[in-house]
Amino acid sequence: MVGMGMLRSGWCAPIRLGARMLAIGILLAASAALLTGCGVLSAQLEAASTFAKSTSQLADSAKSAYLQAGQDESTLRVVRYAVLGNPQDSPKLISAGNYQKPLLNLMPSYISIKGRLDAAAALSAYGQALTALLDSKTQEGDLAAATDKFTAALKSIPAKDLTAAGIKTAEIDSAGAILKAFGNLYLDYRRREALEQVVPATEPVVTKLCKMFRNDFDILADGQAFAQVYYNSTDNILTAVTRKLKSDADSQGNGGDGLERRAILLPMYMQVAAIKNKTKDTYATVKTAGASCATASQTLADSIKNPTVSLDDIIDFAKKADAAYTAVTAFAAGK
């Protein structure tokens, strides 16, 4: 570890580059470190900054994906009503918002969409707090506000969701306390000292949040993950529409009125098929980003203890978080 005296007298200013330029930034920071005797600390600061921004990006992607599922649910229920005639899928009930057992509730009781949105808010708040910690322009009040937002978001997550993620109350308290301990950051060495303590202390909570999203958006999960239940529900509705279309085709061949019904069902089929395909592709990117986030979180904590640890995992996470955000945004825009 670099001594405080060296940090105070000959510190290296962090190189601030965009997430996509992190690899170049690390090389430049490492070179500067060799010249000034600061080890790879500047590279760690740059990596931590990129990780912070990427966690916020992943959180936004997960939140948007959950909300998009809720919006698409109305379409899926209308189609199911048209095909199967379920009373609870009546458009009148859907528009009034008082239908029973929506698709998003057809999953194990430990999964709560509200809880997942709270988890996404917590991960986003962590990214903002870490960014504030690393920003030389941040004042004590700004960091305190960002820290409070992080701890409040964590504590708003329902107990059953915390249990499902394996997050303990003690870990939440520890993460908040260590961030609040560094309010006086007007000297750069204090930010470096804070990084050495904050990242390892918050890593368990952050890693578990990342794993929660990795598991939730795995449509092939061995169990009842959010994505798996939602994707299967969509697939079942599409299967029902397909069977109805085939039945109507047979009816048409026998002189029935299948042609008219097919004119109604075909657009519905296209809608559900589009939701199914986009859901599959989009959820895969969020799952991959969540898995990468968990790995990068542990790598960043390890690198704080051992400057020789490769930061490639963080570079990889930045790319995957960007890919997930792009995919979710396109899905929401109907592209």
Residues 237-294: pLDDT tens digits? 888 888 887 776 666 554 555 666 777 788 888 989 999 998 899 999 999 999 999 9
Whole-angstrom Cα distance, residue 50 to residue 55? 9
Domain with 328, as residue range(s), is 4-332
What number is the average pLDDT over the span 27-47?
55
Identify which has the larger pLDDT, 27 or 94. 94
Identify which has the larger pLDDT, 250 or 123. 123
At residue 96 the predicted structure's pLDDT band, cuts being 50, 70 and 90, is low
Report percent pLDDT > 90 for the chain: 32
**Is the pLDDT confidence value at 18 over 90?**
no
Whole-angstrom CA distances from 32 to 15, 24, 37 are 9, 12, 8
The 3-state DSSP class for residue 97 equals coil
Joined tokens for residue 284:
């895969």
**Is the pLDDT confidence value at 211 over 60?**
yes
Joined tokens for residue 70:
């809720």
Mean pLDDT, rounded, of the chain: 78
Give, in degrees to the nearest 5, the angle at Cα 98 between 93 and 102.
90
**Is the pLDDT confidence value at 22 over 70?**
no
Identify which has the larger pLDDT, 103 or 18. 103
Q: Look at residue 1 in the predicted model and tell me its pLDDT.
A: 33
Q: Counting beta carbons within 10 angstroms of the beta carbon of residue 60, is it exposed (0 to 12), middle (13 to 18) or buried (19 or more)?
A: buried
Q: Look at residue 4 in the predicted model and tell me its pLDDT.
A: 31
Backbone angles phi, psi at 13, to 5 degrees: -70, 135
For residue range 136-183, list pLDDT tens digits in order. 776 667 777 888 899 899 999 989 889 888 999 899 888 888 877 765
Q: How many domains does the chain have?
A: 1
**Is the pLDDT confidence value at 10 over 80?**
no
What number is the average pLDDT over the span 318-335?
91
Joined tokens for residue 326:
């792009």
Q: Look at residue 247 in the predicted model and tell me its pLDDT.
A: 75
- What is the chain's alpha carbon radius of gyration, rounded to the nearest angstrom? 24
Can you state the percent helix, strand and coil of the chain, rounding each to 5? 80, 0, 20
